[in-house]
A and B are shown apart, each in its own frame.
Chain A
Amino acid sequence: MTEIRLTGRAAAPGLAIGPVTVLTAAVAERAASGDPAQEAAALKAAIEGATAEMVKLIGTLEGEVADILEFQVAMLEDDALAEGAYDAISAGISADHAWRSALDAEIMGYRSANNEYFRARAADLVDIRDRVLARLNGADTTAKIAVGAIIAGDDISPSTFLAADWSRGGAIALAAGSPSSHVAMLARARGAPMVVGLGPLSWIGPPPSLALVDGDAGIVVFDPEPETRRLFERRLAAANAAQAAADAGRLEPACTADGRQIAVLLNVAAPEDLADLDPKICDGIGLVRTEFLFEASHGLPDEDTQYAVYRRILDWAKGRPVTIRTLDAGGDKPIAGLTVDGERNPFLGLRGIRLSLARPEVFRVQLRALSRAAAHGTLKVMLPMIAVPSELDRASAMLDAEFATLKANGIACALPPLGIMVEVPAAALRAADFGAAFYSIGSNDLTQYTMAAARDIGAVADLNDAGNPAVLALIAATVEAGQKRGVEVSLCGDAAADTHLTTMLLATGLTTLSVSPIAVARLKAAIAKVGS
Chain B
Amino acid sequence: MHDAHASRAGETSVPLTASAVLVNKVGLHARPSVKLTQCAKKFVAKIELALAEDGPWTDAKSPVKVMRVKAPQGATLHFRVAGADGEAALAAMLALVHDGFGEV
Interface residues of A (CB under 8 A from B): 67-68, 70-71, 74-75, 78-81, 106, 109, 113-115, 117-118, 121, 124, 297-299, 302
In the complex, what residue of chain B is closest to A73 when comparing beta carbons? Answer: B34
Q: Which residues of B contact A118 (CB under 8 A)?
A: 29, 67, 70
Give the residue of A71, A113, A298 whose beta carbon is less than 8 angstroms from that of B34: A71
Give the residue of B38, B63, B68, B72 whose beta carbon is less than 8 angstroms from that of A115: B72
Least CB distance from A436 to B in Å reads 36
Q: What 6 additional pairs, Cβ within 8 angstroms, besides A71-B30, A74-B37, A79-B62?
A: A71-B33, A75-B63, A78-B63, A113-B70, A121-B30, A121-B67
Main secondary structure of the interface of A (DSSP, over half): helix
The answer for the CA separation of A297 and B26 in the assembled complex, in Å, is 12
Least CB distance from B40 to A in Å reads 12
Q: Check if A67 sits within 8 Å of B26, measured CB to CB.
A: no
Q: Check if A78 sits within 8 Å of B64, measured CB to CB.
A: yes
Q: Check if A115 sits within 8 Å of B27, measured CB to CB.
A: yes
In the complex, what residue of chain A is closest to B38 when comparing beta carbons? Answer: A74
Least CB distance from B71 to A in Å reads 9
Least CB distance from A378 to B in Å reads 31
The answer for the CA separation of A70 and B38 in the assembled complex, in Å, is 12
In the complex, what residue of chain B is closest to A305 when comparing beta carbons? Answer: B25
Q: Which residues of A contact B37 (CB under 8 A)?
A: 74, 78
The answer for the CA separation of A117 and B22 in the assembled complex, in Å, is 15
Q: Is B65 an interface residue (CB 8 A)?
A: yes
24 inter-chain pairs at a CB distance below 8 angstroms, sorted by A residue, are A71-B33, A74-B33, A74-B38, A75-B63, A75-B67, A78-B62, A78-B64, A79-B62, A80-B59, A80-B62, A80-B65, A81-B64, A106-B64, A113-B70, A114-B72, A115-B26, A115-B27, A115-B70, A115-B72, A117-B26, A118-B67, A121-B29, A121-B67, A299-B26
The answer for the CA separation of A423 and B91 in the assembled complex, in Å, is 58
Q: Check if B64 sits within 8 Å of A67, measured CB to CB.
A: no
The answer for the CA separation of A298 and B64 in the assembled complex, in Å, is 17
Least CB distance from B65 to A in Å reads 5
The answer for the CA separation of A81 and B25 in the assembled complex, in Å, is 26
In the complex, what residue of chain A is closest to B34 when comparing beta carbons? Answer: A74
Q: Check if B31 sits within 8 Å of A67, measured CB to CB.
A: yes
Q: Check if A298 sits within 8 Å of B26, measured CB to CB.
A: yes
List 4 A-B pairs, minimum CB-CB distance, nearest first.
A80-B64, A71-B30, A117-B26, A78-B64
The answer for the CA separation of A287 and B70 in the assembled complex, in Å, is 37
Interface residues of B (CB under 8 A from A): 25-27, 29-31, 33-34, 37-38, 59, 62-65, 67-68, 70, 72
Q: Which residues of A contact B38 (CB under 8 A)?
A: 74
Q: A78-B62, A115-B70, A118-B70 are in contact. Are A302 and B30 (CB under 8 A)?
A: no
Q: Check if A109 sits within 8 Å of B68, measured CB to CB.
A: yes
Q: Which residues of B contact A124 (CB under 8 A)?
A: 30
Q: Check if B27 sits within 8 Å of A71, measured CB to CB.
A: no
Q: Which residues of A contact B33 (CB under 8 A)?
A: 71, 74
Q: Which residues of A contact B63 (CB under 8 A)?
A: 71, 74-75, 78
In the complex, what residue of chain A is closest to B35 when comparing beta carbons? Answer: A74
The answer for the CA separation of A67 and B34 in the assembled complex, in Å, is 10
The answer for the CA separation of A106 and B68 in the assembled complex, in Å, is 9
Give the residue of B29, B65, B68 whose beta carbon is less than 8 angstroms from that of A117: B29
Q: Which residues of B contact A299 (CB under 8 A)?
A: 26, 29
Q: Which of A71, A297, A299, A302 has the most CB of B within 10 A?
A: A71
The answer for the CA separation of A118 and B38 in the assembled complex, in Å, is 20
Least CB distance from A305 to B in Å reads 9
Give the residue of B25, B26, B31 whose beta carbon is less than 8 angstroms from that of A71: B31
Q: Check if A297 sits within 8 Å of B64, measured CB to CB.
A: no
Q: A71-B34, A74-B63, A78-B63 are in contact. Are A298 and B68 (CB under 8 A)?
A: no
Q: Check if B64 sits within 8 Å of A75, measured CB to CB.
A: yes
The answer for the CA separation of A371 and B4 in the assembled complex, in Å, is 43
Q: Which of A74, A80, A117 has the most CB of B within 10 A?
A: A74
The answer for the CA separation of A117 and B59 in the assembled complex, in Å, is 22
Q: A80-B62, A297-B30 are in contact. Are A302 and B70 (CB under 8 A)?
A: no
The answer for the CA separation of A163 and B67 in the assembled complex, in Å, is 26
The answer for the CA separation of A297 and B72 in the assembled complex, in Å, is 16
Least CB distance from A336 to B in Å reads 13
The answer for the CA separation of A135 and B72 in the assembled complex, in Å, is 34
The answer for the CA separation of A78 and B31 in the assembled complex, in Å, is 15
The answer for the CA separation of A78 and B72 in the assembled complex, in Å, is 22
Q: Which of B33, B37, B38, B62 has the most CB of A within 10 A?
A: B62
The answer for the CA separation of A81 and B31 in the assembled complex, in Å, is 17
The answer for the CA separation of A124 and B31 in the assembled complex, in Å, is 13
The answer for the CA separation of A299 and B73 in the assembled complex, in Å, is 13
The answer for the CA separation of A408 and B34 in the assembled complex, in Å, is 42
Q: Which residues of B contact A297 (CB under 8 A)?
A: 30
Q: Which residues of B contact A114 (CB under 8 A)?
A: 70, 72
Q: Which residues of A contact B68 (CB under 8 A)?
A: 109
The answer for the CA separation of A56 and B25 in the assembled complex, in Å, is 30
The answer for the CA separation of A286 and B34 in the assembled complex, in Å, is 40
